[in-house]
């Protein structure tokens, strides 16, 4: 076997990485390869539950991140920019793309970057996470502004691609949020708003696709959903800004409209048809007697907040 070249693999920085809690062997499952199937399922499921606990402990940091992001995005021009590598990058892409059908988040206000490009979503491109030049090129193409919000994800908190993206974002004046599973990591120190999910060692040591990834997914769900509610994408607890792009979602739109207004199915469908299947608009129409155009204008006047639109209309 050809020996590895001396490329700084065991530099002081790399040695520090080896000490990260996510890289440490689990002391609870040293004989994992001898477990029965029942024992394996128990070990993994119990360990995954700790991911939610890590997110709960980061509630104060998540609250601050949501408030800071809302302040940048409420004006209506800023973008959400997700960056990451490997599992973290895929989770960022997943959270971002789901905002479009769930909350009608405008596609032009979303950027999802994963080290190695789109192909890395489907085939591991692990070497790309060390490519700082690639990160610089991706950031240059994204052309961030002070209105944008960067969500940088790295379980280790040391990924060069991600750290380079953060430096570029901060240089552009964008808000930087960092999601990491190692408190005090370089990523946590580099961003404006760190979200530190202290999940500790994994059952399969070093495999951060396990509870570290689960914690990141929960944190992203919490962050983006809270942000969308603040931005007026929900009425009560109803998902009223969805995109009705298939039969299932059209049926859901009818049910949501009925639930919000108390009208019959036919009345709900009639209002939805008049409003291009936009639940928010249909609700305002049915509750105020406005036509579709007037309802849309009323929503636009209050930045899309359904409850505000109804209150303002009723006060006129």
Q: Catalytic residue, from 23, 98, 136, 267: name it.
A: 98
Query: What one-character DSSP code corresponds to residue 196?
Result: E
Q: Catalytic residue, from 129, 132, 196, 297: name it.
A: 129
Residue from 191, 97, 108, 119 nearest 153 by CA: 191
Neighbours of 310 (CB within 10 A): 20
Contact between 99 and 110 (Cβ < 8 Å): yes
Contact between 78 and 106 (Cβ < 8 Å): no
The alpha carbon dihedral of 295, 296, 297, 303 has a sign of positive
Kindly give, in sequence order, each residue whose CB lies less than 8 Å from that of residue 211, ignoring residues fewer than 6 positions away.
47, 48, 50, 51, 54, 199, 202, 203
Bridge partner list, 80: 110, 149
Tokens of residue 160, six digits: 């060069």
118 catalytic? Reply is: no
Tokens of residue 5, six digits: 């070249």
Contact between 303 and 76 (Cβ < 8 Å): yes
- What does the alpha-carbon distance between residue 142 and residue 20 come to, in Å, rounded to a whole number? 31
Tokens of residue 193, six digits: 């708003």
- Sheet-wide strand order for 149-153: 110-114, 80-84, 149-153, 175-180, 193-196
Kindly give, in sequence order, each residue whose CB lies less than 8 Å from that of residue 241, ignoring residues fewer than 6 positions away.
103, 104, 228, 232, 233, 234, 279, 280, 304
108 catalytic? Reply is: no
Residues recognised as catalytic: 98, 129
């Amino acid at each position: 076997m050809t020996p590895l070249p001396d490329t700084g693999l065991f530099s002081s920085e790399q040695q520090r990485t080896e000490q990260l809690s996510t890289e440490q062997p689990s002391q609870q499952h040293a004989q994992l390869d001898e477990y029965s199937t029942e024992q394996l399922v128990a070990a993994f499921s119990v360990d995954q539950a700790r991911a939610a606990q890590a997110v709960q402990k980061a509630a104060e940091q998540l609250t601050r991140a949501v408030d800071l992001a809302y302040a940048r995005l409420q004006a209506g021009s800023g973008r959400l920019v997700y960056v990451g590598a490997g599992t973290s990058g895929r989770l960022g892409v997943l959270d971002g793309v789901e905002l479009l059908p769930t909350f009608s988040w405008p596609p032009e206000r979303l950027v999802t970057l994963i080290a190695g490009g789109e192909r890395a979503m489907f085939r591991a491109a692990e070497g790309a996470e060390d490519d700082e030049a690639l990160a610089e090129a991706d950031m240059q193409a994204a052309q961030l502004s002070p209105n944008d919000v960067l969500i940088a994800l790295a379980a280790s908190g040391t990924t060069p691609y991600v750290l380079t993206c953060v430096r570029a974002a901060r240089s552009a004046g964008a808000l930087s949020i960092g999601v990491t599973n190692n408190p005090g990591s370089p990523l946590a120190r580099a961003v404006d708003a760190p979200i530190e999910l202290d999940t500790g060692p994994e059952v399969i040591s070093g495999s951060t696709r396990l509870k570290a990834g689960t914690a990141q997914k929960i944190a992203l769900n919490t962050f983006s959903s809270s942000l969308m509610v603040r931005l007026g994408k929900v009425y009560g607890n109803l998902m009223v800004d969805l995109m009705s792009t298939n039969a299932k979602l059209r049926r859901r739109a009818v049910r949501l409209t009925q639930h919000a207004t108390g009208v019959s199915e036919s009345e709900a469908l009639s209002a939805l048809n008049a409003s291009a299947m936009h639940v928010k608009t249909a609700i305002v129409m049915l509750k105020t007697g406005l036509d579709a155009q007037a309802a849309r204008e009323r929503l636009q006047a209050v930045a899309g907040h359904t409850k505000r639109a109804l209150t303002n209309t009723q006060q006129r």
